[in-house]
Amino acid sequence: FKVTAITGTTFLIDDVRLLPGVVSGGETQEVFYWDAGIPPGADVWVWWASEYWSHVSPSVNDGGFEESTPNGTFPDAGYWHLQTSGGDCTGQCMGAAARSGTAGLRMKTGTDGAEYWVAAFQEYEAYAGDIFRAQVYARQPSGYGWVSGSEAYLQLEFQDAWHDCLGSITSATRVTSSGQGWTLCEIGDTQAPYGTRYVRLKLVVRKPSGSSGQSVCEFDDCRLQQGNSFNGDFTEDPSPPEGTKVFRSFCVYWSGWGIFFTNSTTNLSAYSNGYVKFWLKSHGYNKIEVQSVTAGVTNTACGASYGPTTNGQGEVVWQHKVIPVQNFLTDNASLDLSHIQSPFMITDPTYDHAYSVDDVKWSMSP
């Protein structure tokens, strides 16, 4: 596409697009996903299990503090990190702080007015569009200090590659009073913002800045979970095969998506001896399907299945995949290429991790 003008010329341009079925660079093809989007009249349908992957739980990665030594020092299993405003702020793994099991975490601010907050955190890799939820039980132990106006709560903090904070969310329920018993602090499904590289699960105790005295709170039975997610405009892959955008999914147990014509079908019979081509980057196992609908009858066919796309060093990398259309017809002879509703469907049926797709097309050349 090119526009040329001379001085003094006024012109308007709108709705420029590459039409399917044209010859592009000597290749007859129909493009179903690239940086310009998906075809008019199509949408992306997503399916997944209602499950979550636990990064932290009472029995995983010291979420119950059972993996650390309950000796009155900060948890020593290697998962938790201490963050404070300085001074005498501290955290102690100890049996007296347990809600369940044999240990919990007691967090204390300092007594000086400048020592007004303390936090314990765990950090995990995350990307834009990833979905997280979290919870922890917290209480204010009777007989220990609590400055009026203090709070203890759960926080999720999203950070970029340089560990600068992009945003955070805190639990609506929190410990706010002296002697308050075990309280469930929760954060529901929360989507990581653009630029995210890390998510932090934080347990926080905070008193009013400048207040003297100490505030003490105990935590136990922490959870950080990641759910299935789909990002159709992921722009943070370091080496996208085409343009700047890719489709990225995080899979828990199973998930998938497809490009579907919502009010009609499309005729791809001219590609009966052609190929379905796309780029795949996956930690897991994926199967590729297409679907036709003729007179209300739906037929789905699988063309290929793939394992992790790794190189010789075991790194997950982009790989170009080419599937003969005849593979789909061999799998299901009733597939009607003249009434295709979904020209591309991908499902990860087994594995908990991310997979990405780019530059999906049907073509007459392999």
Please state the domain extents for the chain.
Answer: 23-49+230-363, 53-227
Q: How confident is the model at residue 35 (pLDDT cuts 50, 70, 90)?
A: confident
What average pLDDT does range 112-133 have in this prediction?
Answer: 97
Do 247 and 358 touch, CB atoms closer than 8 A?
Answer: yes
What average pLDDT does range 150-158 have in this prediction?
Answer: 99
CA 70, CA 357: separation in Å to the nearest integer? 47
Q: How confident is the model at residue 24 (pLDDT cuts 50, 70, 90)?
A: low
Decide if pLDDT at 46 tops 70: yes
What is the pLDDT, as a whole number, of residue 155? 99
Contacts (Cβ under 8 Å, ≥6 apart) of 307: 285
What is the pLDDT, as a whole number, of residue 350? 74
CA 228, CA 354: separation in Å to the nearest integer? 9
Name residue, tokens 């039975």.
Answer: 221
Pick the CATH number of 23-49+230-363 from 3.10.20.30, 2.60.120.1270, 3.40.50.2300, 2.60.120.430: 2.60.120.430
What is the pLDDT, as a whole number, of residue 25? 55
Decide if pLDDT at 291 tops 60: yes
What is the pLDDT, as a whole number, of residue 315? 94
**DSSP-assigned beta bridge partners for residue 185:** 136
Q: How confident is the model at residue 37 (pLDDT cuts 50, 70, 90)?
A: confident
Q: How confident is the model at residue 14 (pLDDT cuts 50, 70, 90)?
A: low
What is the pLDDT, as a whole number, of residue 260? 97
CA 323, CA 305: separation in Å to the nearest integer? 10
Pick the CATH number of 53-227 from 3.10.450.50, 3.40.225.10, 2.60.120.260, 3.10.129.10: 2.60.120.260
Q: How confident is the model at residue 349 (pLDDT cuts 50, 70, 90)?
A: confident
Fold match, 23-49+230-363 / 53-227: yes
Do 299 and 352 touch, CB atoms closer than 8 A?
Answer: no
What is the pLDDT, as a whole number, of residue 34? 86
Name residue, tokens 């992009």.
Answer: 166
What is the tens place of the pLDDT at every residue in 215-251? 999 999 999 999 999 999 999 999 999 999 999 999 9
CA 304, CA 347: separation in Å to the nearest integer? 11
What is the pLDDT, as a whole number, of residue 188? 98
What average pLDDT does range 164-184 have in this prediction?
Answer: 98
What is the tens place of the pLDDT at every residue in 70-87? 999 999 999 999 999 999
What is the pLDDT, as a whole number, of residue 253? 86
Average pLDDT of every residue of the chain = 93
What is the pLDDT, as a whole number, of residue 13? 66
Q: How confident is the model at residue 122 (pLDDT cuts 50, 70, 90)?
A: very high
What is the pLDDT, as a whole number, of residue 2? 60
Do 118 and 107 touch, CB atoms closer than 8 A?
Answer: yes
pTM of the model: 0.85
